[in-house]
Chain A
Amino acid sequence: MKQETDIESLGRQIVEESAFIDRARQALSTTIIGQTAVIDKVMIALLANGHLLLEGVPGLAKTLIVRTFASAMNLSFHRIQFTPDMLPADLIGTMIYNPKTMEFHPRRGPVFANVILADEINRSPAKVQSALLEAMQEKQVTIGDVTYPLGEPFMVLATQNPVEHEGTYMLPEAQLDRFMMKIMVEYPTFEEELEVMQRASAVQAPIEVRAVVQPEEVFRSRSLVDRIYVDQRVQRYIVDLVTATRSPERYGLGNLSTMIEYGASPRASIFLLLASKAHAFLQRRAYATPEDVKSIVYEVLRHRVRPSYEAEAENMKPEEFIRSILEHVQVP
Chain B
Amino acid sequence: MALLLVIACGPASAAPVPGDVTVSAEPDSLFAGERLHYVITVRHDRRDSVSVASLKTGQGTPFEITGAKSFLKKLPDGRAEFRMDAELAVFGSGRQPLPGFTVVTGNASAAGPERLAITPTASVTVLGMSDSTVTELRPIAPPVSAPFPAWLLAPVLIALAALGLAGYLVARLVTALRRHLDDPVRAARQKLRAIRRQLSKGLVPADGYESLSNILREFLQKRYRFGAMEMVTQEIAEELADRKINIRQELIELLDRADLVKFADRRPDIEECRRSLRVAEVLVATAEVEAETTADVEN
Contact = CB atoms under 8 A, between A and B. Distances in A.
B260 A1 contact: yes
B233 interface: yes
Interface in B259-283: 259-269, 272
A63 to B, nearest CB: 33
The 5 closest A-B pairs by CB, nearest first: A287-B264, A291-B232, A4-B265, A289-B263, A3-B266
Interface in A276-332: 285-291, 294, 326-332
B230 interface: yes
A3 B265 contact: yes
SS of A interface (majority): mixed
Interface stretch (A38-46, A122-130, A229-237): A229-237
A327 B272 contact: no
B227 interface: yes
Interface of B: 227, 229-235, 257, 259-269, 272
A74 B148 CA distance: 101
A330 B233 contact: no
Interface residues of A, number: 24
Interface of A: 1-4, 7, 229, 231, 233-234, 285-291, 294, 326-332
Given A1-B272, A327-B227, A231 B262 contact: yes
Nearest to B259: A289
23 contacts: A1-B260, A1-B269, A2-B266, A2-B268, A3-B264, A3-B265, A3-B267, A4-B264, A4-B267, A7-B265, A229-B263, A229-B264, A231-B264, A233-B263, A287-B264, A289-B259, A291-B235, A294-B232, A326-B230, A327-B230, A328-B230, A329-B230, A331-B229
Contacts of B263: 229, 231, 233-234, 287-290, 332
Contacts of B265: 3-4, 7, 229, 231, 287
A279 to B, nearest CB: 13
Nearest to B265: A4
Contacts of B232: 289-291, 294, 331
Nearest to A293: B232
A15 to B, nearest CB: 14
A287 B264 CA distance: 6
Contacts of A330: 229-230
Contacts of A233: 262-263
Contacts of A1: 257, 260-261, 266-269, 272
Given A287-B265, A294-B232, 19 more contacts: A1-B269, A1-B272, A2-B269, A3-B264, A3-B266, A4-B265, A4-B266, A229-B264, A229-B265, A231-B265, A233-B262, A234-B263, A285-B264, A290-B232, A291-B232, A291-B235, A330-B230, A331-B230, A332-B262
Contacts of B235: 291, 294
Given A1-B272, A327-B227, A331-B229, A291 B264 contact: no
Contacts of A7: 264-265
Contacts of A294: 232, 235
A316 B259 CA distance: 34
A7 B262 CA distance: 13
A331 B264 contact: no
B90 to A, nearest CB: 80
A288 B263 CA distance: 7
Given A327-B227, A330-B229, A291 B234 contact: yes
Contacts of A328: 230
A332 B269 CA distance: 21
A291 B260 CA distance: 12
Contacts of A2: 266-269
